[in-house]
Structure 1
Amino acid sequence: MMQDNANLSVLVVDPNPGMRASLQNMLNQAGINKVESAVNASTAIKQLAKRAYDIILCEYDLGGPQGDGQDGQQLLEDLRQHRLITASTIFIMLTSEGVYDKVVSAAELTPTDYVLKPFTVDMLSTRIKRALERRTALLPVWQLAAQGKPLDAIRACATAALTSPRYALDFLRLRAELHVSVGEQREAGALYRDVLAERPLGWAGLGLARTMVAQGQVEEARDTLAQLVQANPRLMAAYDLLARCHEQLGASNDAQKVLEEAVSISPHMVRRLRKLGEVAMENGDAEAAEKSFKQVVNKARYSEFRNPEDHVNLVKALVTRGDVQGASGVIRDLERSMRGSANADACKSFSNALLHEKMGNVSAAVAELQMAVSATRTSSGLSSHLKIGLAQACLEHQMDEQASSVMMTVMHDASSPVTVDEAMGVFVRAGRPDLADGMGQQLRAQAQILLGVADEKRNMGDVRGAVQTLMEALHMAPGNQAVMVAVAGGILRQVSELGWDHSLSVVAAGQIERLRALDPGHPRLAALGEEFQQAKRKFGISS
């Protein structure tokens, strides 16, 4: 074991120099000599951006005596969300924290393990050994998944469960998640049901509910999740999904209640607090929204991934409640702490516009909206939610051109969850169907240009680039038959030349089906269908 440990790299994250030295000593005794340390979350993130570690030992209470900085749970949330650690990274939380809610928050983000202080060398060695054994067993499957071979990974899970029966449940769970990743919800659901038939494990119930939501069985999922949170009141992700089901079913007040309950159990998850604020705001509960967004701004203050949009949300809530002074203070904080980026500039100008509007200073509000729109053009990563809010504010001030230009940036973002119909709905609800029509024409024209760009890329031999361009065209003109045909054909060409890609094949199948529904006699339909079947046969794809 000691010899095996010699190649392991460990990052110790702890603000206390005495504890860092003690952990270094313990790890050395366990045969681990490649040890680096970070004094807080910010330093840890910078180090993890440069290189990967096998193991991270992280103190929960990272704030130190002043309580400034992120805690271990917020760090883990950032690392997972921004993919700075992989499934195979062993993350062990070290804590002497007896406070129940904090440990729940940490547990819901599934660290590999957490160890309560004080602990001995033997105790720490045993936990590391156990984590390494599990990692060794699961690593081949994780590697196949990372290489974009989910179907091979699924087959490997089934085999490995027989050779390593100790981790049979881990493999079953991983297999189900892989089925979900390639859109095979029914197969995943069947695996989760198999587990639940043996014992009522929370993760299996949650997985089953997720497959139901993906298949449009939202009411069934809601009922399953309501029972699940009663039986597992600490299964926090189940509350999030239950809230989403309520939202999809039009019961946003119920969604807010569920999120409030989750926050009362586990109050440190920034993503959930943000969602609660958004839902409360939509429900017209500005007081609850203010409370949530205040916590989001405070908790994210020391994150390397601070989001200036949180300040805008808080300003909106404060302005709605008539707290002009409070809103001014939040804008000053945004200016002071995040100046210099186009995103922060857009958020600051939008926030100022909301404040001026509340104070009846219309010309100042319009000037700030102009600046927000300009900053949006050079920004990257602003959410569709913020941009839609900005477009709506422009429409209220008859700033038609600016509203249209902001909505076009939403539609140019192929990763945006906002559909063309939803974007146009913003204009229609504002009483401007003419602007919706204008945007529709513009998008169709741009999609046509992108088809030409994709052709050029394909002729240059860049089949992958061609497909990326076609996906952008599809986002802009989802109902356009020429785009559907081009997307399906482009994907099948890429598959034929570069190998099977399940997520793209799902898109191709969807476009072929949609074309069949719209125009069963389309001249390209039969050939595309046959080409798709040939590709499946070539790569041995059964489903």
Structure 2
Amino acid sequence: MAEYSDLSVLIVDPNPGMRGNLHNMLSQASITRIDYAVSSGTAVRQLAKKPFDIILCEYDLGNGSGDANGQDGQQLLEDLRHHKLITPWTIFIMLTSEGEYSKVIGAAELTPTDYVLKPFTVDALLQRIQRAVDRRAAFMPVYQLVELGNIRKAISEAKASEEKNPRYAIEFARLRAELLFSLNELAEAEMVYQWILMTRPIAWAHLGLARCRYGLEKYVEAQETLNALLGQNPRFMAAYDLLARTHEALGQQEAAKRVLEDAVAISPHMVRRLRHLGEVALETGDVGAAEKAFKQVVAKAKYSEFRDPEDHVKLVKTLVKKGDANQASGVLRDMERSLRGGPNVDVCRAVAAGMLQQMNGNTSAAANELTQAVNAVASSRGLSTGLKLGLVQSCLDVKLDQQASDLMLNLMNDTDSGISMDDAVQVFEKAGRHDLAAGMGEQIKIQVDELLAHANEQRTQGDLRAAVDTLNAGLRKAPGNMALLPAALAAILKQLDDLGWEAPLGEQAQYLLERMRQLDPGHPTLDALMEQYHHTQRKYGISVVA
């Protein structure tokens, strides 16, 4: 096995004896580039410095000092994947002697490359490594194209590889579907998953099909697919998560909570699922379930290198809603004591302190804390939209109108927030603040007018693509704005007519025409825009559907 001598391996295990045994086993395969980590924290720090080809990770990591508490291998893998510290081609093998089935399932649902139950022989371990290395070699050309950002070519390469590597044909089809999904070409990805299912009824393909249907807003179909999947595979954990989100999309919050509770009962160690359960439970008014879930999140994340101070805020919010000031104060003190200072921690501490002060009737002190939170948002990074919206509501509660409006305006202008102009107005309307909603409406009108003027200038200068990009950016902020919609549609049709037919742009034009018809069927420009769309189709030989 001399061909493996260039492979680098990170062994993650708190037991020095086991580290030595693994080192000896690897040496028999001529693998000598070996580093060690005694805990999840040291593993994260090692991987932040350099990549490894293979990670051999003990499930029961403890905290590196021999204690039983700390982050386990499953939580480490979750962090590494979420924070992109390992590549799709990194070989991650979980090692465990744990007999409890729920923990094995927990590791399996995070799809490590493989997992090996202890005790195992040298031959068994090296056989798993050889299988993983051979598979990686087959997929590496596609992975390299993805790394270069050439997703289209990667999809073509994956398609060609299905025929060249019949052993991995189904897995290449899966990768092709995932890449199509990443480009938001959900209908095409759906077709690939359907082809896979005609070949072989695989659980992950049913899940992929459901994800496509969810993304296409075919929620009932997604729900039916997931229920059938769980009927056949009741321990397929990722299906529970998507089924819960599907229930939420249909407004079925109680059903979503029950699904997540069932999932946590089977696999109790996934932090993100516990967090989701806490959020849904709080939304449904089940404060007890929310408290239990958020306490587990805070406890399980304690040894993670990526602790999120927002978890403490959610727990404080739950305890405030419960009326438990003593416990809420304790959580706040724990945040101040155990989390290192930083912009996000400063915001979260002030938000939590503001809620607590408000609960205690100290409106002036609450306003001071919330003002600090709003000021700290500007220098923060990665705060969730949910936390910021909660801060807006807290500001409204203590009459910090200007701070609430400024923060909402920033959210609206942040393309990553997912908050449209319409959403921003609705927040103030729901809070009973029609005056602030009207003010926000005026701000929106000014921004829309500026966008239209800028796009018109670009169009006048002959830069049609730039004009379309500008107006599309505006539509992302205000998808229902009846000044932007016809302007964007007219610009798209002009580009198609002058520069040639592009299928994705043609599909967007068709969607915007339907959107206009739904919102304002009597709009004075609708018929002319429809005729222009059909004229351009005929010009380029595109079949016109009657």
**What is the deviation of 1:144?**
2.4
Distance in structure 2 (CA, Å) of the matches to 1:412 and 1:218: 29
| Secondary structure of the structure 2 residue equivalent to 1:381 | coil
**1:419-443 deviations in Å (ceiling 9; x for gaps):** 3222221100111122123223323
Give the match for residue 36 of structure 1.
35
Q: Is the counterpart of residue 242 in structure 1 residue 239 in structure 2?
A: no
Give the match for residue 304 of structure 1.
305
**What is the deviation of 1:92?**
0.6
Give the match for residue 113 of structure 1.
114
Stretch moving more, 106-115 or 153-162: 153-162
**1:432-471 deviations in Å (ceiling 9; x for gaps):** 1221232233234345556788999999xx9999998776
Q: Is the counterpart of residue 191 in structure 1 residue 192 in structure 2?
A: yes
* Percent of aligned pairs with the same amino acid: 54
**1:43-73 deviations in Å (ceiling 9; x for gaps):** 2212222222111111111115313431111
Distance in structure 2 (CA, Å) of the matches to 1:147 and 1:439: 42
Distance in structure 1 (CA, Å) of the matches to 2:310 and 2:432: 27
Q: Is the counterpart of residue 392 in structure 1 residue 370 in structure 2?
A: no
**What is the deviation of 1:507?**
7.1
Distance in structure 2 (CA, Å) of the matches to 1:80 and 1:503: 31
Give the match for residue 338 of structure 1.
339
| Secondary structure of the structure 1 residue equivalent to 2:143 | helix
- In the alignment of these two chains, the number of paired residues is 531
> Are the equivalent residues in 2 in contact too, given 1:451–1:486 (CA < 8 A)?
no
Q: Is the counterpart of residue 97 in structure 1 residue 95 in structure 2?
A: no
Distance in structure 1 (CA, Å) of the matches to 2:274 and 2:182: 27
> Are the equivalent residues in 2 in contact too, given 1:455–1:466 (CA < 8 A)?
yes
Shift in CA distance, 469/20, structure 1 to aligned 2, threshold 3 Å: farther
What is the letter of the counterpart of residue 204 of structure 2? W
> Are the equivalent residues in 2 in contact too, given 1:157–1:172 (CA < 8 A)?
yes
Stretch moving more, 294-303 or 352-361: 352-361
Structure 1 unmatched runs, 5+: 538-543
> Are the equivalent residues in 1 in contact too, given 2:419–2:477 (CA < 8 A)?
no
**1:204-260 deviations in Å (ceiling 9; x for gaps):** 111111121122211121122112112111111110111111111111001000000
> Are the equivalent residues in 1 in contact too, given 2:513–2:526 (CA < 8 A)?
no
Shift in CA distance, 432/67, structure 1 to aligned 2, threshold 3 Å: same
Distance in structure 2 (CA, Å) of the matches to 1:4 and 1:229: 42
**What is the deviation of 1:487?**
10
Distance in structure 1 (CA, Å) of the matches to 2:196 and 2:43: 37
Distance in structure 2 (CA, Å) of the matches to 1:41 and 1:328: 29
**What is the deviation of 1:156?**
2.1
Distance in structure 2 (CA, Å) of the matches to 1:201 and 1:280: 32
> Are the equivalent residues in 2 in contact too, given 1:444–1:476 (CA < 8 A)?
no
> Are the equivalent residues in 2 in contact too, given 1:92–1:111 (CA < 8 A)?
yes
**1:74-96 deviations in Å (ceiling 9; x for gaps):** 11101111111121111111111
**What is the deviation of 1:326?**
0.6
> Are the equivalent residues in 1 in contact too, given 2:2–2:29 (CA < 8 A)?
no
> Are the equivalent residues in 2 in contact too, given 1:183–1:506 (CA < 8 A)?
no
Shift in CA distance, 375/503, structure 1 to aligned 2, threshold 3 Å: farther
Give the match for residue 296 of structure 2.
295
**What is the deviation of 1:286?**
0.5
**Equivalent runs, 1:322-471 vs 2, <5 Å:** 322-446=323-447
**What is the deviation of 1:303?**
1.3
Distance in structure 1 (CA, Å) of the matches to 2:418 and 2:130: 42
Distance in structure 2 (CA, Å) of the matches to 1:216 and 1:434: 34
**Equivalent runs, 1:36-75 vs 2, <5 Å:** 36-63=35-62, 64=64, 65-75=66-76
Stretch moving more, 168-177 or 246-255: 168-177
Distance in structure 2 (CA, Å) of the matches to 1:235 and 1:52: 30
**What is the deviation of 1:408?**
1.8
**What is the deviation of 1:202?**
0.9
Shift in CA distance, 402/34, structure 1 to aligned 2, threshold 3 Å: same
What is the letter of the counterpart of residue 57 of structure 2? C
Shift in CA distance, 46/180, structure 1 to aligned 2, threshold 3 Å: same
Distance in structure 2 (CA, Å) of the matches to 1:449 and 1:7: 57
Q: Is the counterpart of residue 140 in structure 1 residue 141 in structure 2?
A: yes
> Are the equivalent residues in 1 in contact too, given 2:12–2:58 (CA < 8 A)?
yes
> Are the equivalent residues in 2 in contact too, given 1:342–1:378 (CA < 8 A)?
yes
Distance in structure 2 (CA, Å) of the matches to 1:96 and 1:316: 39
Shift in CA distance, 218/524, structure 1 to aligned 2, threshold 3 Å: closer
**What is the deviation of 1:391?**
0.8
TM-score (norm. length: structure 2): 0.87
Distance in structure 2 (CA, Å) of the matches to 1:512 and 1:178: 29
> Are the equivalent residues in 1 in contact too, given 2:422–2:478 (CA < 8 A)?
no
Distance in structure 2 (CA, Å) of the matches to 1:260 and 1:23: 38
Shift in CA distance, 146/235, structure 1 to aligned 2, threshold 3 Å: same
Structure 2 unmatched runs, 5+: none
| Secondary structure of the structure 1 residue equivalent to 2:11 | strand
> Are the equivalent residues in 2 in contact too, given 1:222–1:245 (CA < 8 A)?
yes
Give the match for residue 315 of structure 1.
316
What is the letter of the counterpart of residue 140 of structure 1? P
What is the letter of the counterpart of residue 93 of structure 1? M
Shift in CA distance, 487/53, structure 1 to aligned 2, threshold 3 Å: farther
| Secondary structure of the structure 1 residue equivalent to 2:374 | helix
Stretch moving more, 282-291 or 138-147: 138-147
Distance in structure 2 (CA, Å) of the matches to 1:97 and 1:449: 62
What is the letter of the counterpart of residue 269 of structure 2? H
> Are the equivalent residues in 1 in contact too, given 2:467–2:491 (CA < 8 A)?
no
Shift in CA distance, 390/454, structure 1 to aligned 2, threshold 3 Å: same
| Secondary structure of the structure 2 residue equivalent to 1:114 | strand
Give the match for residue 270 of structure 1.
271
What is the letter of the counterpart of residue 19 of structure 2? R
Distance in structure 2 (CA, Å) of the matches to 1:90 and 1:39: 19
Cα root mean square deviation, aligned: 3.5
Give the match for residue 152 of structure 2.
151
Give the match for residue 3 of structure 2.
4
| Secondary structure of the structure 1 residue equivalent to 2:112 | coil
| Secondary structure of the structure 2 residue equivalent to 1:230 | helix
| Secondary structure of the structure 2 residue equivalent to 1:53 | coil
Shift in CA distance, 98/330, structure 1 to aligned 2, threshold 3 Å: same
> Are the equivalent residues in 1 in contact too, given 2:5–2:29 (CA < 8 A)?
no
What is the letter of the counterpart of residue 342 of structure 2? S
Distance in structure 2 (CA, Å) of the matches to 1:228 and 1:337: 42
Distance in structure 1 (CA, Å) of the matches to 2:309 and 2:334: 10
Give the match for residue 541 of structure 1.
none
Distance in structure 1 (CA, Å) of the matches to 2:476 and 2:46: 37
Q: Is the counterpart of residue 27 in structure 1 residue 26 in structure 2?
A: yes
> Are the equivalent residues in 1 in contact too, given 2:155–2:176 (CA < 8 A)?
yes
What is the letter of the counterpart of residue 143 of structure 2? W
Distance in structure 2 (CA, Å) of the matches to 1:202 and 1:239: 13
> Are the equivalent residues in 1 in contact too, given 2:513–2:530 (CA < 8 A)?
no
What is the letter of the counterpart of residue 418 of structure 1? I
